[in-house]
Structure 1
Amino acid sequence: MEVDATANPLRQPSVQFAHKPNFCPLKPHEISGGQIQFRKVSVPPHRYTPLKKAWLEIYTPIYEEMKIDIRMNLKARRVELKTRPDTPEVGNLQKCADFAHAFMLGFDVIDTVAMLRMDELYVESFEIKDVKTLKGEHLSRAIGRLSGKGGRTKFAIENSTRTRIVIDDTNIHILGSFANIKAARDSLCSLILGSPATKVYSKLRAVSARLEESYEF
């Protein structure tokens, strides 16, 4: 009996499939065992009136584009969201909740609606006391440095870092991507620690140029 020297006894015969299986993506209600998923977003008292005025701008993209049901619970003063059988993705519910929460923090609808269409946007919040403990007039001056005359400093930071900033008393909220939020937070922290606005402006020019280079690639 002749043995083929080139034959490999460990070699397994190749298996050929008749066709590639095609699995349909699961719907949110299928993943959760057929149960509807909910999210609830509280409405602060000072955002109740702006919410009523901008309700149609908030309702339309959530209901028509994201396929999420939304309603305002007047008794509990909160926005309630839930999935539908035709909701295309599970993450849509959380995106809509983040969008509504960002509006409650004070951001404009035209800015927060980008969170529904882009995955890399989120909100970061911190307090002035997290950076430096200030009281009385020192705290008031720090808040004044953050905003600047007529909001000039805040607008300069927003335009240079491509972010949106809300200063709510001692709370600061920043909307943007990870790198842009870091750049804006560094500038705001410098102002809280006492750096003059002119020094922050010079750093912002360098930051803006660096961010422009990163967007080109």
Structure 2
Amino acid sequence: MTDINIDTDNFEPKRGTKRFVPTEETDMEVEVHNGIQGRSKNRPPKSKKVRTQSFSETKDDVRRIPVPTHRYTPLKENWLKIFTPVVEHLQLQIRFNLKSRNVEIKTYEDTKDIANLQKAADFVKAFVYGFEVEDALALLRLDDLFVETFEIKDVKTLKGDHQSRAIGRLAGKGGRTKFTIENVTKTRIVLADSKIHILGSFQNIALARRAICNLILGSPPSKVYGQLRSVASRVSERM
């Protein structure tokens, strides 16, 4: 076995990488769109790798969102509001397939960012869940927004009248309880039978989910309101 000579004069140890120290310029800029709080998109874009693979070579350039029967009419009435931002701003192609009953979104040669495909799919999916178009548009205009879905049985197993009373506690008289939770947590909530959809930032979704779970478990709305306001005030002070 031959010996390997190492030139000690030209040998330099690897330097340790510097830790990233956040500054005031990197702080999160909070923006509100139609009452929904999220992170602003008005910041310098990150450098992206050059895309060498064409869209036609990938299999992930199409998104299909199934539409339930009860959302056909709202989709038809609001199609122009959905079509315009997807085609003009995101540079994507969109259509409603009458055979499969799916909304199909596809990229083409003018699409600048492949990430727009997922944004458009989340936007259409939020509308299918029951959110208004103006609220779903926040997914396109603000960063770090999500849609979380869970059922009442995930919190507590309720059947018959017990489940109906729980849904009534969540909505409140004339939807007052739901609107209060939305305004305090800066989120949007859709009550679809036993399913609950929440649109907002991660932190705000956690606040709204905690309040909703307390109502499902039987807490009176007045107690939930007090807890919400105290937590929301602490969060606003940190921001």
1:188 aligns with 2:212: yes
d(CA) in 2 for partners of 1:126, 1:23: 35
| Structure 1: stretches of 5+ with no match in the other structure | 1-7, 13-21
Alpha-carbon distance change, 127 to 98 in structure 1, aligned in 2, over 3 angstroms: same
* Displacement of 1:136: 1.4
Alpha-carbon distance change, 25 to 130 in structure 1, aligned in 2, over 3 angstroms: same
Query: What amino acid sits opposite 2:133 in the alignment?
Result: V
Per-residue CA shift, 1:96-154, capped at 9, x if unaligned?
11111110000000011111122300100000000001111111110000000000000
Q: 2:106 aligns with which of 82, 95, 102?
A: 82
Q: 2:166 aligns with which of 142, 145, 149?
A: 142
SS of the residue 2:177 aligns to: helix
Per-residue CA shift, 1:73-93, capped at 9, x if unaligned?
122211001011121111110
Per-residue CA shift, 1:29-66, capped at 9, x if unaligned?
62673667111001111111000111011000000100
1:52 aligns with 2:82: no
Q: Is the 8 A contact 2:55 2:107 kept in 1?
A: no
1:99 aligns with 2:148: no
Q: What TM-score do the two structures reach when normalised by structure 1? A: 0.85
1:114 aligns with 2:138: yes
| Structure 2: stretches of 5+ with no match in the other structure | 1-7, 13-46
**Corresponding residue of 1:40:** 64
Alpha-carbon distance change, 36 to 132 in structure 1, aligned in 2, over 3 angstroms: closer
Moved over 4 A (4+): none
Total equivalences in the alignment:
198
Query: What amino acid sits opposite 2:72 in the alignment?
Result: Y
Q: Is the 8 A contact 1:165 1:172 kept in 2?
A: yes
**Corresponding residue of 2:51:** 26
SS of the residue 1:165 aligns to: strand
Q: RMSD over aligned Cα, in angstroms?
A: 2.1
* Displacement of 1:214: 3.6
Q: Which has the higher helix share?
A: 1
d(CA) in 2 for partners of 1:124, 1:114: 15
Q: What TM-score do the two structures reach when normalised by structure 2? A: 0.78
SS of the residue 2:54 aligns to: helix
d(CA) in 2 for partners of 1:67, 1:146: 39
Query: What amino acid sits opposite 1:173 in the alignment?
Result: H
Identity of aligned pairs, percent?
A: 56
Q: Is the 8 A contact 2:55 2:108 kept in 1?
A: no
Alpha-carbon distance change, 34 to 104 in structure 1, aligned in 2, over 3 angstroms: closer
Query: What amino acid sits opposite 1:111 in the alignment?
Result: D
**Corresponding residue of 2:28:** none
Query: What amino acid sits opposite 1:197 in the alignment?
Result: P
Higher Cα Rg: structure 1 or 2? 1
**Corresponding residue of 2:156:** 132
